[in-house]
Structures are given as C-alpha cells and as structure tokens.
Amino acid sequence: MQLHPVLSKTFGGLNSRYYFRQFVFGLIFPVMVYFASTSGNHPFPLKLIPFFIICTLLYPYARFVYESIVSFIMGDNVFYVNAILMLAVKVIMMSVCWSLSPVIAPIGLLYLYFHHSRSERAR
C-alpha cells in the first residue's frame, strides 16, 4: 500500500531503525509516569492516555529536531565529561523532548517534508 506523498515525506521520512530506537526510548516516560502514579493509593488518570500516545508517537521527530540542532551547534567537537553528568543531562533532555514533542515535532516534520521534496526534484 502506497502512502500519500505528504505522509511518506513527513511521517515516513525518518530511517525506520532510528524511529524504532527513539520510539522505544520514548516509551520509557509513559511507563515511568504510569508506575509512579499507580504506586500510591491514587488511580491512574485515564485522561492522560491520549497525551501519552501523542507524545510517544511524536517523540522520534522531536528528538530528530533536537539532535539536528545540537549537531549544528557542536559540529564534530568531542567533549570529555563525567558519564553520570552526561547521562543525567541526556535523560533530562529526553524528558523535555518527550513532553514537548507536540510542539517540537512539527518542526521536524516540516523539515523532512521539504528535504524529501527537494531530493525528489533533484533526481
């Protein structure tokens, strides 16, 4: 089945291995929130499920935007830092990207659309 060209250039624009890897990392946050909220006497708020689904599905595109910006700023430089500090910053940035993915991901989707449209015209 062939996707509509707009869908294939945007949502299908990321490498499938990259999308799957980031999707798995994106699943960490709803799972953590679910277990944290059900560990007490409070029931899990079902109204959060749509937000969790949207954030998790869009997280790979938000992470793509974040990594593109960091790559542009840092270039090929290598920094040697404490591993614990690096992992803490990475987890914080992952949680920011996940929670703001409905806002950040459209930027990545627009970029992917224009990138794939331009490369299609160049052929």
Per-domain boundaries in the chain: 5-122
Tokens of 61: 């595109």
Query: Other CB atoms closer than 10 Å to residue 70's CB: what's the count?
Result: 11
Whether 29 contacts 97, CB under 8 Å: no
Task: Note the pLDDT of residue 3.
Answer: 60
CB 120 within 8 A of CB 73: no
Break the chain down into helix, strand, coil percent, rounded to 5: 80, 0, 20
d(CA 80, CA 99): 28
Angstrom distance (rounded) from CA 92 to CA 35: 19
**pLDDT tens, residue order, the chain (123 aa):** 566 666 655 666 678 898 899 999 999 999 998 888 877 777 778 888 999 999 999 999 999 999 989 998 988 888 899 999 999 999 999 999 999 999 999 998 888 888 777 766 666
What is the reported pTM? 0.83
Helix 16-38 to helix 83-99 angle (10° resolution) is 90
Angle at 46 between CA 45 and CA 52, to 5 degrees: 95
